[in-house]
Amino acid sequence: MIVTAGFAPTWSTKAADNNKRLTIVYAVQNMAWPWPAAAANLAKKEGDKLGVEVLIQDAEGSSAKQSSELRNAIVQGVDGIILAPVDVNALVPAIDDVIDAKVPLITVDRKVTASKVPLAYFGVDNVAAGEAMANYVISKFPNGAKIFFLTGQLGSSTANERIKGVHEALAAGGAKYKIVSEQSGDFSRARALTVTQNVLSSLPEAPDAIIASNDDMAFGVLQAMQEAGVPQNKILVVGLDALPEALPLIRDGVLAASVEDPLAQATTAVDAFVASLRNKTPLTGKVLEARTIEQSNVTTAERWDEVK
């Protein structure tokens, strides 16, 4: 399912020359994270197919670095920018500078709402994705559950929206669903490993389920459980992204499920952006469905063909 979301104004730029080879910056929040890195690389490949140069800028998790890179892109005279922001609020001044410079800008993965003009957004509804993780737990524990909730990067809209979705779904399920610990794993496997080790050793009894706000953290959770001697399947673990590394674990029943964050948002964004730049037409964003991938449907996952 795809629905429209957001609108980008038509900028009057040199990019309207159809004979010109376009240069687009893809500003990614952190190439050290598997999903953003895969999305950025896929965007670059899509650009190659379309005869467009896509320059990847890695913010390395720093809003200050990403802000500087956005302003440098203005000076470089690029034709457009696709932005996956580190922090949607901290980036607003730099985003507004890009808008003032009349450089076309759209967002992927994380939605910016405070810019001076609306920006087209390509990605999933992260509130709905959070709800999907929580609803999966509810479906497996109809009589209630104790839950350890591992959240993402503090301050990021992705993390905040997934938190909102998880909280709302669990609240709708009733008081029998209790979060016994909620901590940030910063979307990092290593950080999730450490946090989970500390939580498992501090709780009086093991949780029934662990919700990890991305798959990389879910891998850290599984490692911590293994090192602590927790029997496989004693604790239900749910992730988000449906990474190729996660899919065999789902198939084999090690990871219960993962809510899919489609990489198609990156290629969809590039295709729509290039068409808009070349044809000088308004651009409407797209919200892609976040499906829950579990053992019964794992072979239908977007990235199943990458499983070795």
CA–CA separation, 143 vs 50, rounded Å? 52
CATH-assigned architecture of domain 126-261+296-300: 3-Layer(aba) Sandwich (3.40)
**Structure-token pair, residue 210:** 């662990």
The structural domains of the chain, with segments of one domain joined by +, span 2-124+262-289, 126-261+296-300
Q: CA-based Rg of the chain, rounded to a whole angstrom?
A: 20
CA–CA separation, 308 vs 306, rounded Å? 6
pLDDT, position 15: 47
pLDDT, position 18: 59
Residue 162 CB neighbour total at 10 angstroms: 30
DSSP secondary structure of 179-227: EEEEEE-TT-HHHHHHHHHHHHHHSSS--SEEEESSHHHHHHHHHHHHH
Between CA 248 and CA 144, with CA 206 as vertex, the angle to 5 degrees is: 85
2-124+262-289 maps to which CATH number? 3.40.50.2300
Same fold, 2-124+262-289 and 126-261+296-300: yes
Q: What is the pLDDT along the chain (308 residues), one digit of tens a residue?
A: 333 455 455 444 444 455 679 999 999 999 998 999 999 999 999 999 999 999 999 999 999 999 999 999 999 999 999 999 999 899 999 999 999 999 999 999 989 999 999 999 999 999 999 999 999 999 999 999 999 999 998 878 889 999 999 999 999 999 999 999 999 999 999 999 999 999 999 999 999 999 999 999 999 999 999 999 999 889 999 999 999 999 999 999 999 999 999 999 999 999 999 999 999 999 999 999 999 999 999 999 999 999 98
pLDDT, position 157: 84
The pTM assigned to this predicted structure is 0.87
Burial of 237 (0-12, 13-18, 19+ CB in 10 A): buried
